[in-house]
Structure 1
Amino acid sequence: MADLTRRTLLTAAVPLAAAPAVAAAPAFAPVVPGRRLVFPRDHGAHPEFRTEWWYITGWLEESGAPLGFQITFFRTRTGLGEDNPSRFAPRQVLFAHAALSDPRTGRLLHGQRIAREGFGLAGASTRDMDVVLDDWRLVRTPTGELKTQAAGEGFSLDLTLAPTQPLLLQGQEGFSRKGPRPGQASYYYSLPHLKVSGVLGREGRRRQVRGQAWLDREWSSTLLDPSAVGWDWTGVNLDDGGTLTAFRVRDAQGSPIWTGGSLRTAQGRTWSAPNGAVAFDPGRTWKSPRTGAVYPVAPTVRMQTPQGERRWTLTPLFDDQELDSRPSGGPVYWEGAVRVPGGSGYLELTGYAAPLRL
């Protein structure tokens, strides 16, 4: 009975009777320029905002073979039941995705979770990074290391991620525009070049793995312009110790609504790309046999820097890295390990199967 109750609470994230028939629209906190990010507080959750995520991507080596992995935790304020004193009211919902990219398998292995906050089963601390969702977790230790556990289709990950560089404030000291209106923005920082160690479980065996990863942290209440259907994003750990971040928000015709990103040198000098300085040339495409979506899986990123234009052509570890998160209320998107000359990272392509709505 205890296990049945536990599973019921995890799967029934938004019960039909949880919210009153008529409720006032919630007042989500705005993202405004000039707010100084404060740590460790801003590693933690921001429940007054509409949505946020803790997004880890990286490369592992298992017996000399390269693998990609993703572990992402999301929190969303639903706007439901905010005046309802019941513990069952779904005021905050957490969901998470985990995926393993193995060229030997030729497709993405993945898992997902969803639950309303509470009951000791799902929650996110507001004091520091500590997110739990059933048996999945991401926590920052007193020494600054990140520890995470997640599992999916035939695999499990138990990893430690150690920072090797200072955190990277994206945009204007952490204020990152995503559209033409000032409110279309997020608070955004990254932890690149994370040193990864831990255990990968597969087929009843547990193996030690090592690698390198990237953490993105964003929170917002109004992220996308109404005309946006999705975005392209890449985060790359360069072999010389530098980093590349690039994104574009697209409309239905594939034209950029807003672009941005950053370059940081191995010495720590950071340049933030203004709107219009980043372009994604589609390159080779791949069509999903399951959804019919066509993804530009090998784009060339162009960035106009003060020293002139720079280019990086992204090559996927393999093509079929599409993730279908609809069972947990999420979208279908492409999330894949990619290489560039002189680096490796991840590419995210959203809004190609259907317009993305946040």
Structure 2
Amino acid sequence: MFKLGLIINPYAGIGGALALKGSDGPEIRQKALDMGARQLAPERTAQALELLKPYQSQMKIITAAGEMGEDLSRQMGFDTEVCYRPPAQTEAEDTEHTARELLKHNVDLLLFAGGDGTARNICAVVDESLPVLGIPAGCKIHSGVYCVTPKAAGRVVEKLVKGELVSLHQAEVMDIDEQGFRQGVVKARRFGEMQVPAELQYVQAVKMGGRESEELVLDDIAAHVIEQMDDEIYLMGSGSTVAAVMESMGLENTLLGVDLVQHQQLLLSDATAEQLLEAIKGKPARLIITLIGGQGHIFGRGNQQLSSEVIRAIGKENILLVATKSKLNALNGRPLITDTGDHLLDEALCGLMQVITGYHDQVLYPVQIPQ
């Protein structure tokens, strides 16, 4: 019998679509809930567990009570044992308490859904004593303990349940200061390492930090994009490559958010998903995005404001992907990844996509979702 430890941070990523840049602290969580935020972590966990339903007779899930795991596990028909009962409003210490109890139960793997803050909490207890695997559900996913998508996490656990040989490797746990993050400053700090299954097509790399150093290349990319701009509304995604385009237009940029531009004038800074939908309703719009260096994600990491509804409203044909060739080469042939939370949309976005890599210079690069 495979014993799977499960921890769900029910508030992970709750501020993403609302441009709150995180979910740490009860004030931020309450603000997000008051603004109508959805709790997506259980949904993303369900996507992973769905792939394990054929193996229910071969496994047991040990978890915390209520929305930290028990509710979803029982709802999906898994043999479920509760090891910890949190209060009504869960906090970081409840993640740590659950992790301690899971260590006592000698689980084979700890599967958790959250962001870098959740990974930090688990690392503080587990360290390298237990294999772990993260389902990406937070606003900040810098750590190397997360799978590229929720379904990818399910695939890795499936291999373990089936008894296939899966190697382990050490992965860094990183986190950033949310206060600085909201000011557009990324200060990543290493908090330790944990053991994760080394299925590289499913597990993401640690995010690369810092601004692009290839300033001339960025200027060329910006010149190409600006030359193409017309009367449409442009959604300017997060990241340093898009920031270079904004800088070339002389516009203030939200490095870690989404801005709206039309006629090379700033319409709205750091917009929420709802604001973006309202702004482009019934109007032609285009989206300019880049990829996360080292990971290859184009959606689902640090740009949750670009919800599946927003992306569908824009259309794949109106997405301009920008990146330097060095950034693409750093992927070592791995495909770009889309993780919007909408599987049908992710499938529609797959295939070869044009990437603007300089002035009148474009390459074709594959976009995939792990199967």
TM-score (norm: length of structure 1): 0.30
More strand by share: 1
**TM-score of the pair, normalised by structure 2:** 0.29
